[in-house]
């Protein structure tokens, strides 16, 4: 016996949570876009990469929502997730390579070393 609110197919929570995920990714992507416009240098590069990852996450999460209703969107869910993972890996590599410059930018380390 399954409680109706916890049923994947019958509960209103399933589409609501999926909509919430898309909205949260969109808000995060908006903040990365604002940072991309505001800052230059390494921070602009990193914000741009994070913004691309946010767009991929939005597409993947949207495809997950619509995949419940239209089967042809199911493949986009995995594609969006793969792109998001690849962009996240790229951003991690960027941050690792530029860490000393970022530390100077944030005042965590003296410049010029």
Q: What pLDDT is attached to residue 67? A: 82
Q: What pLDDT is attached to residue 45? A: 86
Contact 94, 47 (CB under 8 A): no
Q: What pLDDT is attached to residue 91? A: 84
Q: What pLDDT is attached to residue 2? A: 59
- For the entire predicted model, the pTM comes to 0.74
Q: What pLDDT is attached to residue 23? A: 96
Contacts of 79 (CB under 8 A, 6+ apart): 59, 60, 63
CA 66/CA 69 separation, integer angstroms: 5
pLDDT by 10-residue block (mean), the chain, 113 residues: 72 89 95 94 86 88 84 80 87 80 74 53
Q: What pLDDT is attached to residue 77? A: 80
Q: What pLDDT is attached to residue 66? A: 85
């Amino acid at each position: 016996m399954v409680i109706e609110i916890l049923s994947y197919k019958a509960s209103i929570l399933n589409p609501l949570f999926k909509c919430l995920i898309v909205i949260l990714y969109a808000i995060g992507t908006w903040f990365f876009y604002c940072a991309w416009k505001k800052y230059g240098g390494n921070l602009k590069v990193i914000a741009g990469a994070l913004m691309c990852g946010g767009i991929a996450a939005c597409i993947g999460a949207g495809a997950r929502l619509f995949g419940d209703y239209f089967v042809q969107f199911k493949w986009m869910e995995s594609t969006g997730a793969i792109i998001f993972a690849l962009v996240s890996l790229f951003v991690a590599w960027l941050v690792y390579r530029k860490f000393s410059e970022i530390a100077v930018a944030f005042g965590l380390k003296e410049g010029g070393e």
